[in-house]
Amino acid sequence: MSDLPIVLAITGASGAPYAVRLLDVLARAHVPVELIVSSHGWRLLETEADVADEAALKVATGGDWSSVTVYPDTDRGAKPASGSHRTAGMVICPCSMGTVSAVAQGSSRSLVERAADVALKERRKLVLVPRETPLSLIHLRNLTAVTEAGAVVIPAAPGFYHRPTKIADLVDFVVQRIVDQFDLDLQLAPRWGG
């Protein structure tokens, strides 16, 4: 496991349980995390997970944030905005289609968008976790563009071969796929047994 931080951004697409669980898993494993939550991400966390602020998010993710550094989305001068700041890559979970569009176009209007732009230009891992459905042609073209630029798209679409019995099982299925992208040795969900 790398000592380099993973940049984790939470944006306003539905899917707060994925974001909370991912941060929980990373924090409990003491994986260095640079956390950015957009204004729409905070609204999402409150609406879907009853997490209204940073203190509540810390409680919801185990309470030990010794490996987590938080940056405001408005600070485009923060470390994740610079290519000279080394990271293991970035994950945007959940990733709104507006954020996908901004990344596809390289608009970089916020720290989330700039950090994603940096991940692409530095050829670092960039994982986008959209949860939109259905997808319009514009969505599909933007997802194609980010994939062609080097991003990995992991739709928040859990499988069912592991016979989930609760929502947490579905959430862990998707979070497992995300942490696998960063070669983290964490076992959250059963793997296909053949």
- How do the domains of the chain map onto residue ranges? 6-181
Per-residue model confidence (pLDDT) at position 1: 58
How does pLDDT run across 14-42, given as a tens digit for each residue? 999 999 999 999 999 999 999 999 999 99
3-state SS string for the chain = CCCCCEEEEECCCCCHHHHHHHHHHHHHCCCCEEEEECHHHHHHHHHHHCCCCHHHHHHHCCCCCCCEEEEECCCCCCHHHCCCCCCCEEEECCCCHHHHHHHHHCCCCCHHHHHHHHHHHCCCEEEECCCCCCCCHHHHHHHHHHHHCCCEECCCCCCCCCCCCCHHHHHHHHHHHHHHHCCCCCCCCCCCCC
Which pLDDT score, from 0 to 100, does residue 191 have? 87
User: pLDDT of 113-156, one tens digit each?
Assistant: 999 999 999 999 999 999 999 999 999 999 999 999 999 999 99
Average pLDDT, the chain: 96
Average pLDDT over residues 162-187: 96
Of 3.40.50.720, 3.40.50.410, 3.40.190.290, 3.40.50.1950, which CATH number belongs to 6-181? 3.40.50.1950
